Amino acid sequence: MSAAVSGPVRIVTVVTAVHAPAARFLPDAYRSLCGQRLPAGWQWWWLIQEDGYGDEVRPYVPDDARVSFRQGRPGGPGVARTIALARAEGPYVKILDADDQLPEGALARDLAALEADPGIGWSTARALDLLPDGTTAGFPGDPEEGPIERGAVLDFWTANGFRAQVHPATLCVRRELLLALGGWMALPASEDTGLLLALNAVSRGWFSARVGLLYRKWEGQVTGQSAHTDPAEREARMAVVAARARALADYKWQYPPTY
């Protein structure tokens, strides 16, 4: 991928997994990216990875030198995002689901938090549900703006019915740390929660109290399907997510590394 810019440029890679039913929302996601104003010397690159092969997604992919589109055999959003990492460049990876949008300033706030403190491995932000009528709704229980200490997300998640106090779809993470953890978990769902808890097991994070994501609610979204709430599968997903986070904490591997 190339971009028509002058002078040295630092890249933040935005990764989006998409399947055919959500493809129609890509233009909205693109407009939200184009509305981001980054600090001098920074530019975003958008990696769109289709979870499968077909003809329905490509027509919605913007014609922009900053956008790269690939397809691959279906394996779920975690597999699509992880395979897209082969094309990632720059120090940071930002997650943007195909049906979501970034409010103005969201990406700049992620960069500010991560650039200001090398000891912070990842950032999150407040999320609002974007409802079908265009209105938004917030979530109760957001933490205060500031650092999130190691283990805090797992403790809250365990004590609150497997609901994290920060939204995994708002993640921006150091690329090398994301690669060290193997990308997203090989789960049919909750793969982003699994990554969030793994990140929190090994590194401190950051929460921005300003809105960093508009999380679209619509009839066809994966998290709204009956399979997502199947009790047996959900129990298995939560068990392996928690076990991975605890194992990482027990091994005492951490970011930044200590020697």
- The residue type at 229: T
Lowest mean per-residue pLDDT among 66-70, 147-151, 170-174, 250-254: 250-254
Q: Summarize pLDDT for 43-59 with one digit per residue, the tens.
A: 999 999 999 999 999 99
Contact indicator for 162, 221 with CB cutoff of 8 Å: no
| pLDDT given at position 225 | 55
Name the pTM for this structure: 0.93
Where b means 16+ CB within 10 Å and e means fewer, 142-168 reads bbeeebbebbbbbebbeeeeeebbbbb
What whole-number distance in Å separates Cα of residue 116 and Cα of residue 143?
20
Quote the DSSP letter at residue 12: E
| pLDDT given at position 2 | 44
| pLDDT given at position 257 | 87
Q: Summarize pLDDT for 210-243 with one digit per residue, the tens.
A: 999 999 998 876 665 556 678 999 999 999 999 9
Q: Summarize pLDDT for 75-115 with one digit per residue, the tens.
A: 999 999 999 999 999 999 999 999 999 999 999 999 999 99
DSSP string, 16-33: EEE-GGGGGGHHHHHHHH
- How high does pLDDT run on average in the chain? 94
Kindly state the average pLDDT of the residues 18-29.
97
- Higher-scoring residue by pLDDT: 211, 4: 211
C-alpha to C-alpha distances, 9 to 5, 90, 176, 197, 218, nearest whole angstrom: 8, 9, 19, 31, 37
Q: Which residue has the tokens 């300033």?
A: 105
Would you call 137 helix, strand, or coil by DSSP?
Answer: strand
Dihedral (Cα; 140, 143, 149, 154), 10-degree rounding: 0
